[in-house]
Structure 1
Amino acid sequence: MKLIHAGDSCIILKLSDELSPAANDLVLEISTALSEGGPRGIVEISPAYSSIGVYYDPTIIEPKEVEEWIKASQTRKKPATSIRRDLYRIPVDYSDAYGPDLQEVAKETNLTAEEVVKLHTRTRYRVYMLGFMPGFLYLGDVPAPIRVPRLKKPRVRVPPGSVGLAKEQTGIYGIESPGGWKIIGRTPIRLLDTAKSPPTPFKTGDLVEFFPISSEEFSRLDGISVEQTKIG
C-alpha cells in the first residue's frame, strides 16, 4: 500500500502494480469501507483498477488526518465476496452500421465476425472502473482470442453506447467523445442520465453481460434506462 499526494486536495491509495481481479477486489473492499462514512471534509471516493482516489477539502481537514483515516480503513474492510454486485445484461447491435471495426477485428484474430460476437457475448465482465469520460465503463477480462490493440489513429467522435475492444478490456462509451478503441457494436441503452444522482448506477465490482440484438430491436429499445437492464 502506498499513499501518493496528487495536489493539495487528493490522496491516491495505490494498492498494486498489477491490473487483476484480485487487485480490483482489494480496491472494492477498501473503497466500500471508506464510502461508509468518514470525517468532515472528505469530498469523494473514486475507485480505479488498482488504486483509490480520496478527494478532500484542505480548508476543513488536514492531509495527515486523511492519511490516518485511509490507513484505518484496513481494519474496517469486508471481504469482496460479501459486497453486493449488481448484474446488467446489455443489448448490443453488432451490425456493420454500429460496429465499424468488427470486420477488422475478425481479420486480425483470424475469426469470422460471428465468432468474434459469440466470444464477446459469452463472457461475464467485471466493471473495473468508470472514467476517462463521464459514464465510460472499463470492463474485463476479454477472452484471449479477441484481444486486439487500439486503433492507430483515434476517432474524433465516437457515439454514445458504442462498445469497443482494447487488448484485455472491453468498454462502453457513456457520451459522445473522441476514442481509440475498436468499435464492434452499439447498445441502445442510455447509460448516463445527468438529471440523476449519481448519473449512472454502475459501480466498481458490478457485472455486465452482452447479448446481440437486431437493428429492429435496437430501434425499439433506443433510449431506455440502464436500470431496466439490471437482473435481480
Structure 2
Amino acid sequence: MSHRILDAGDAALTIEFGAVIDPALLGTVNALDTAIQHLLDAGELPGVIETMPTFRSLTVFFDPLTTERAILLTTLQPLIAAAEHGVPADGRHWRLPVCYEGEAAPDLGEVAHALGIGEAEVVALHSGAEYLVYMLGFLPGFPFMGDLPEKLRLPRRTQPRVRVPAGSVAIATGLTAIYPWESPGGWHLLGRCPVSLFDAHRAAPSLLAAGDRVRFMPVSADQYRAIEAGVRSGEIDPLQWLHAAPSTVENAT
C-alpha cells in the first residue's frame, strides 16, 4: 500500500492512503491513529495536539512552536509503515433498534417505489446487513457507515430537508447513517433510532467509533417510544446495545 504526505497549513499534515472507501484503508488509518494515541498517552510525541481520521486519511495537528514538520515525520514514518502492513483490529459490535414505521420512516415508500421493490424488502435489506463505521463527521457523533447493499443504493434527495429529526436513520449512495441531532440533511430517511449517539457527559461522548460494526433491529413504534423514554430517564444505558442480542428489545420494554 502506498501513501502520500500532504501539508494542511503550517500546523497540520495529512497522511493519505488511497482514494476510495474501503475497509482495508480504514484499517490502516485506524491502526496509525491508535499508534499515535499510544505515543501521546506516553508523552512521547511532543507538539502533537490531536488527530482526525477519515475514510482514507489521517490528519495530524501539531504546534509548530514546539515541533517541526521534519522531526514529526521522522517519528511517524515507522508508524505509517507498520500500519500499512498490519492486520486491522476488529471494532466493537452493536445491535441498535430502529423503528421503520409511520412518521419515523418518511421516505420508506418513496425509496421502495424508486427501487421497484416493496417496503418490507427495503426494511429487510437494510436491517439484514452489517455496517462498518468508517468515520464520524458532519455532526458530533454522526457515523458514516457502509457498505449499503447494492439493491438499496440511491443518490441523495434532489431536495434536501431543512430539518431532519434527531435519531433519523438514512441512506445515500453506498452509505447509511444516523443523525444524532436535528439538522438539515439530504439523505433518504428509512427509520429512527431511539439510542443517543452523543452525550458530552460520557467519558467517550460519541457512542460509536470508526471501526465499529453495526446491525439494526426493527422495532415497533410502541417499542421505540418505550426505549426512547428509558434512555431519556436514564433507566436504559445506551451501552447495553453493545453486543446486544435480539431479546434485549423485549428486556428494555
Q: What TM-score does the superposition give when structure 1 sets the normalisation length?
A: 0.93
Matched, 1:92 2:92: no
Aligned-partner SS, 2:73 = helix
1:17 matched to which residue of 2?
Answer: 19
Equivalent residue for 2:200, pick from 191, 194, 200? 194
Mapped partners of 1:228, 1:177: distance in 2: 26
Aligned-partner SS, 1:184 = strand
Equivalent residue for 1:175, pick from 173, 181, 187? 181
2:29–2:57 contact (8 Å) kept in structure 1: yes
Give matches, 1:90-129, under 5 Å: 90-129=96-135
Matched, 1:211 2:217: yes
Structure 1 residue 180 displacement after superposition: 0.8
Give matches, 1:12-51, under 5 Å: 12-38=14-40, 39-51=45-57
Mapped partners of 2:224, 2:78: distance in 1: 48
Structure 1 residue 175 displacement after superposition: 1.5
Mapped partners of 2:159, 2:72: distance in 1: 41
Mapped partners of 1:69, 1:197: distance in 2: 29
Matched, 1:147 2:171: no
2:165 matched to which residue of 1?
Answer: 159
2:241 matched to which residue of 1?
Answer: 229
Letter in 1 for 2:241: T
Aligned-partner SS, 2:180 = coil
| Cα distance, 1:4–1:160 mapped onto 2, change above 3 Å | same
C-alpha RMSD of matched pairs (Å)? 1.6
1:102–1:183 contact (8 Å) kept in structure 2: yes
Aligned-partner SS, 1:132 = coil
Deviates more, 1:122-131 or 1:18-27: 18-27
Mapped partners of 2:82, 2:225: distance in 1: 47
1:47–1:129 contact (8 Å) kept in structure 2: yes
Letter in 2 for 1:10: A
Higher helix share: 2
Letter in 2 for 1:136: F
Mapped partners of 1:89, 1:206: distance in 2: 11
Figure out how many residues of one structure are paired with residues of the other and give that number. 231
Structure 1 residue 177 displacement after superposition: 1.4
Mapped partners of 2:206, 2:158: distance in 1: 30
Structure 1 residue 204 displacement after superposition: 1.2
Mapped partners of 1:225, 1:7: distance in 2: 41
Mapped partners of 1:101, 1:68: distance in 2: 51
1:28–1:80 contact (8 Å) kept in structure 2: no
Mapped partners of 1:57, 1:221: distance in 2: 45
Structure 1 residue 198 displacement after superposition: 2.5
Aligned-partner SS, 1:80 = coil
Aligned-partner SS, 1:115 = helix
Structure 1 residue 27 displacement after superposition: 1.4
Mapped partners of 2:121, 2:179: distance in 1: 23
Mapped partners of 1:112, 1:125: distance in 2: 22
Aligned-partner SS, 2:76 = helix
2:4 matched to which residue of 1?
Answer: 2
Unaligned runs of 5+ in 1: none
Letter in 1 for 2:87: A
**CA-to-aligned-CA distance 1:143-183 (integer Å, 9 cap, x gap):** 00011111112111112211100111001111121111111
